[in-house]
Amino acid sequence: MNPRAVILLLCAFGCVSDAFHRIAMQRHRQRKLPHARHLWASRKHIRRKFGVTAAAAPQSGGSSTNSAPSEAIEPLFNAYETQFYGPCLVGNQPFTLQFDTGSSDLWIPNANCTTCAKTCDNSVFQAAKSKSFVANGTAFKITYGIGEVSGVLATDTVSIGQISIKNQGFGLVSQTDTCSSFDGVLGLAYPAVALTRQKPPFYQMIEQKLVDQPIFSFHLKSNTTDGGSLILGGSNSSLYHGSLTHVNVTEQKLWKFTMDYIGFPSRKCRRCNGCNAIMDSGTSLLVGPTEDITQLNRKIGAKYNTTNGLWEVQCARIKYLPVLELGIAGKKFHVRPQEYIIAYEDNVCITGFMDLAGINFWIIGDVFFREHYLLFDVEQNRIGIAVAK
Ligand SMILES: *[C@@H]1O[C@H](CO)[C@@H](O)[C@H](O)[C@H]1NC(C)=O
Ligand SMILES: *[C@@H]1O[C@H](CO)[C@@H](O)[C@H](O)[C@H]1NC(C)=O
Ligand SMILES: *[C@@H]1O[C@H](CO)[C@@H](O)[C@H](O)[C@H]1NC(C)=O
Ligand SMILES: *[C@@H]1O[C@H](CO)[C@@H](O)[C@H](O)[C@H]1NC(C)=O
Ligand SMILES: *[C@@H]1O[C@H](CO)[C@@H](O)[C@H](O)[C@H]1NC(C)=O
Ligand SMILES: *[C@@H]1O[C@H](CO)[C@@H](O)[C@H](O)[C@H]1NC(C)=O
């Protein structure tokens, strides 16, 4: 690997590490949220994040997702989308950021965000304590990010591992309607979709020659105590089996590519015939059109619960379920039922296939990342995929 690359240890669900002063699941448990609620919240977030408007026609299969059973008035606790987060310094002040390939902005909470500090217990930025801080003051609003955040733009030194980016523009959030297990977000998608119109941190790293290669890679193994790692500026072939399969990016906005198919070939179920998909570290599940998701869920005998909008399976059946297969760039990639079924408290198990009425592409989230090594190449505009060790 290259000398100028940084390996960042990430924190997964409930991991304990000295580098993090909080444990995601712990705070979530204290809140005693009914589990269904943040899944509804998560649908709402995905809708906003990608600007998907709800389909007008009611969907079959009882899976209309247009309105949550209880619209939350207090901030939503978004503990469900926290798979990839890690430490970062802004103006020498520590924050825990979500590393999100599904957006392109960097934002952190500002000292005057009372919801961030008091309700969400996030770290907040003290501009007066940073010598390198430069105010800008232009207002920004991200209406379809993780929650709705707004504030003003600013510039400061941003450090990730040994890498220090000078004059990084970012959003300082003074208002939010969502609480997350992390303080802010660091977007890793293309500059074209940066709502703050600031050059995304990874592009600054390339421009300021802080990394040797214009690539970054994710390695997340679900069954380890740490959350895996993100390598900015390099990759490590000892973390995967065989060689990488590359798929070209079809639109340089999000990490969009053409997926050949997704399904259970062993049960004669293949959905999506050369459809659009995005690789998104910031979404937990596999999200797709209602009809396709309904088919996948029915093939494994999942039951739709109309009360909470979730597809449930008996946990004891996991070992009898088929392996999910994704066709990408002529190759087959697999996700075991242990990964695509999510065990919940009280022995409730739900599937990792979430429908979103009105969506016309697939979102390939952490369920896929957990078993695959993923390399993102911003120069050759392609994604490399291999089975993770
Ligand atoms: C690559 O990963 C292996 C396995 O975790 C590790 O032992 C090795 O140190 C890594 N290489 C570099 C250069 O970080
Ligand atoms: C928070 O602070 C910023 C920067 O000082 C200021 O522009 C903004 O108006 C403040 N917002 C609130 C809600 O106090
Ligand atoms: C604030 O940032 C915007 C966008 O990068 C830039 O066009 C503008 O000149 C900046 N304003 C100040 C006062 O620095
Ligand atoms: C995790 O690892 C343990 C021990 O190595 C194993 O028994 C268990 O089946 C693994 N779980 C998953 C989901 O792979
Ligand atoms: C991917 O893009 C490269 C460079 O633009 C091109 O040479 C190659 O043929 C493309 N591969 C496929 C399968 O389209
Ligand atoms: C459906 O979900 C509700 C709320 O989580 C739960 O109380 C109920 O038992 C579930 N129904 C079935 C049939 O599992």
Clarify whether residues 254 and 183 are in a common domain.
no
Q: Give the pLDDT score at 9.
A: 65
φ and ψ of 87, to 5 deg: -85, 155
Mind giving me the DSSP string for 310-337?
EEEE-GGGGGGSPPEEEEETTEEEEE-H
Clarify whether residues 214 and 253 are in a common domain.
no
Q: Give the pLDDT score at 326.
A: 98
Clarify whether residues 246 and 113 are in a common domain.
no
Last residue of one domain, picked from the residues 169, 188, 220: 220
Clarify whether residues 170 and 251 are in a common domain.
no
Task: Examine residue 181 and state whether it is found in any structural domain, yes or no.
Answer: yes
- Output the residue whose Cα is nearest ligand 3's atom 13: 136
Task: Kindly give the parts of the chain with pLDDT less than 70.
Answer: 1-3, 5, 8-42, 53-83, 143-147, 221-227, 308, 344-346
The closest of 188, 332, 359 to 259, measured between CA atoms, is: 332
The catalytic position among 260, 280, 355, 377 is 280
Q: Retrieve residue 44's tokens.
A: 């709402």
Clarify whether residues 245 and 135 are in a common domain.
no
> Which 3 state secondary structure label does DSSP give 365?
coil
Clarify whether residues 362 and 298 are in a common domain.
yes
Helix (H) or strand (E) holding 230: strand 229-232
Clarify whether residues 250 and 370 are in a common domain.
yes
φ and ψ of 170, to 5 deg: -155, 170
For ligand 5, the distance from its centroid to the CA atom of residue 383, given in whole angstroms, is 12
Task: Examine residue 71 and state whether it is found in any structural domain, yes or no.
Answer: no
**100 in active site:** yes
Last residue of one domain, picked from the residues 191, 220, 249: 220
- Best substitution site from 222, 223, 319, 341 to test ligand 4's pocket, by max atoms within 8 Å of Cβ? 223
pLDDT digits (tens, 9 = 90+) for 152-175: 999 999 998 888 999 999 999 999
Q: How many domains does the chain have?
A: 2
Task: Examine residue 135 and state whether it is found in any structural domain, yes or no.
Answer: yes
For residue 174, the enclosing domain spans: 6-30+84-220
The closest of 46, 101, 45 to 253, measured between CA atoms, is: 101
Contact 111 CB / ligand 2 (< 6 Å)? no
Last residue of one domain, picked from the residues 220, 254, 280: 220
Q: Retrieve residue 326's tokens.
A: 């994704």
- Best substitution site from 133, 136, 199 to test ligand 3's pocket, by max atoms within 8 Å of Cβ? 136
Task: Examine residue 151 and state whether it is found in any structural domain, yes or no.
Answer: yes
CA–CA separation, 35 vs 119, rounded Å? Answer: 19
Residue 257 belongs to domain with CATH number: 2.40.70.10
Task: Examine residue 152 and state whether it is found in any structural domain, yes or no.
Answer: yes
Q: Give the pLDDT score at 67.
A: 35
* % of the chain at pLDDT higher than 90: 52
CA–CA separation, 323 vs 334, rounded Å? Answer: 6
Which ligand is located closest to the Cα atom of residue 338?
4
HSE, side-chain direction, 13 A CA sphere, residue 312: 15
Clarify whether residues 203 and 309 are in a common domain.
no
Q: pTM value?
A: 0.85
